Amino acid sequence: MENQRKRRESLTYWLLVLGVFALNELKAEEKKTSKAQEPTLVEKNPEEPKTLQGHHIHEMLSTGVGTKYSLFNFSIIHAIDDVKVYYYDKEKKTVFGKAWITEALGKDYIEHKKGIIANLEKDFQWLLKFFIQNVTKSEKNHTIQLFADCELDNDIEMDNHIQFAMDGEDFMKIDMQTKHWIAMKPEAEYLRPLAETMMGIKRIEKVMELYCFVMMRKILQYSSVKEKVAPEVSVSRYDAPDGRITFNCTATGFYPHSILLRWEKGGQLGVWGQESSTGTLPNADTTFYVQITLELPPGNSGIGYTCVVEHSTLKTPAVYPVPEKPTVMRPWVVALGVLIVIILVLSCVGAFIMWKKKKGHGIHEHATVNGEKTL
C-alpha cells in the first residue's frame, strides 16, 4: 500500500510538471499578445494573406533522452506535408529546411519560438528526473516524447492531436472530439482528473493554434514547401470468368497531397457498382499514391467508362478512358494461326536451303572451268 501511495504521488507530481509546461507556453503567448508583438503573417509581404488550397498536415515531434541527472539529447522536428521544415537539437541548435522559411515566419515569431524551446527543454529535463526517480529505479537512459499534429483542408482547420509517450510506449493523449484526456497505460488513469483540470481543452486549443496552425499558415502562405508534381495515371481492366469486370485507376508520384479521383460514364457521375479506394498514401520520395477500384456486376458491358483526375498541377480535370475488353480468339482460330506461322517458317527455311545449295553448285562449276588446261 505504501508503494502504491508513493507511486500515485510521484505520477501526480509528474503531471503537475506537464501542466507547468503548458502554462509556460500560454504565459509566454499572453505576454506577447499584451505587448502587441504578434508577428505578421508574412513579414516582407504586406498584401492580404492568400487562402490556402488543398489538404495540408503539420506534424511536430519533441524527444528528450537522458537520465535523472542530465538530458543527453533533446530535439524538435516540424514537418509540413511530410517535408521537414524545421529542426532543433542541443548540438546544432535551429536548422530550417529552406532559407526562405526564416522570412516566412518573421523575426518576432522566431525569437518567441526560441524562448519556448528553452523552456520546453527544461521541462523535459524535469520530466525525466521525476519519472525515473519516482517511477523506475533503472539507471539506464529513458525517453520522453511529445507528438502533435494539425490539419488544414482548403484553409479550414480540421483535426489536431496531442499525445505523450514514455520509453516508446503510448502514455496519455487528449481526444479533441470528446474534449477529454485518455489514459493509455494503467498508471496514467490516476492522472486523468488532474489533466482535465490543468491542461483543459481550451488551453490546449490555444497552444495548438499558435504553434501548429499559425506556423503552418505562415510557411504555406509564403511559398510551397516542395515543388508541385503532376500525377502519373494508369487505368487497367480485368474481366473475370463469371462476368464481373474490375477497373483500377492509379495515380502516383504527385505532390501536394490533395487529389480527387472519380469514375464517370459518358461524362456523367453515377453509381454503377462497388467502389473502393486505398486512400492517399505516401511514397518513399515524399510524393503520394492513390488507387480507386470499380467492380461492375455481370451483365455490364464496361463500355464508356473513364477515370477523372483533379489535382492542383492540372489546369482542367484529366480524363483517362478505361481500356476496351480484349478480343478473345476461338481455339480453332488460334490453332490455325499457329499452323500458318509454322508453314511460313518452314517454307522460308526450305527456300533458304535450296538457294544455298544452288549457289554452292554454281561456285563449284566456275572453279572447275577455270582449272581446265587450254589445248
Q: Which domains does the chain have, with CATH numbers?
A: 2-222 (3.30.500.10), 232-321 (2.60.40.10)
Whole-number mean pLDDT of the chain?
Answer: 78
Read off the pLDDT of each residue in 71-84 and give the average, rounded to a whole number: 88
Does residue 186 register a pLDDT over 90? no
Does residue 278 register a pLDDT over 50? yes
Query: What is the pLDDT, as a whole number, of residue 231?
Result: 95
Query: What is the pLDDT, as a whole number, of residue 265?
Result: 93
Query: What is the pLDDT, as a whole number, of residue 185?
Result: 82
- Per the model's pLDDT, the better-predicted residue between 359 and 204 turns out to be 204
Read off the pLDDT of each residue in 130-150 and give the average, rounded to a whole number: 75
Task: Check: CB of residue 191 under 8 Å from CB of residue 199.
Answer: no
Q: Work out the pLDDT band at 72, boundaries 50, 70, 90.
A: confident
Read off the pLDDT of each residue in 304-324 and give the average, rounded to a whole number: 94
- Per the model's pLDDT, the better-predicted residue between 1 and 275 turns out to be 275
Task: Check: CB of residue 313 under 8 Å from CB of residue 254.
Answer: yes
Does residue 209 register a pLDDT over 50? yes
- Per the model's pLDDT, the better-predicted residue between 101 and 326 turns out to be 101
| Spatial CA neighbour of 7 closest among 205, 169, 185 | 185
Q: Work out the pLDDT band at 320, boundaries 50, 70, 90.
A: very high
Query: What is the pLDDT, as a whole number, of residue 109?
Result: 87
| Spatial CA neighbour of 158 closest among 211, 213, 203 | 213
Query: What is the pLDDT, as a whole number, of residue 147?
Result: 92
The arrangement of strands across the sheet holding 180-183 comes to 93-96, 83-89, 71-80, 55-66, 142-153, 156-166, 169-175, 180-183
Read off the pLDDT of each residue in 145-158 and give the average, rounded to a whole number: 89
Query: What is the pLDDT, as a whole number, of residue 292?
Result: 97
Query: What is the pLDDT, as a whole number, of residue 3?
Result: 47
CA gap 363, 223 in Å, rounded: 81
DSSP class of residue 255?
Answer: B
Write b or e for each residue in 78-108: b if 16 or more Cβ atoms lie within 10 A of its Cβ, otherwise e: bbbbbbbbbbbeeeeeeebbbeebebbbbee
Read off the pLDDT of each residue in 271-287 and give the average, rounded to a whole number: 90
Pairing mode, strands 71-80 and 55-66:
antiparallel
Report pTM: 0.61
Read off the pLDDT of each residue in 155-167 and give the average, rounded to a whole number: 87
Q: Work out the pLDDT band at 234, boundaries 50, 70, 90.
A: very high
CA gap 85, 93 in Å, rounded: 14
* Torsion angle in degrees (nearest 10) through CA of 289, 295, 300, 306: -10
Q: Work out the pLDDT band at 370, boundaries 50, 70, 90.
A: low
CA gap 80, 39 in Å, rounded: 20
Grid cell 504586406 is found at: 46
Query: What is the pLDDT, as a whole number, of residue 44?
Result: 41
- Max avg pLDDT among 45-54, 153-162, 205-214, 233-242: 233-242
- Per the model's pLDDT, the better-predicted residue between 291 and 128 turns out to be 291
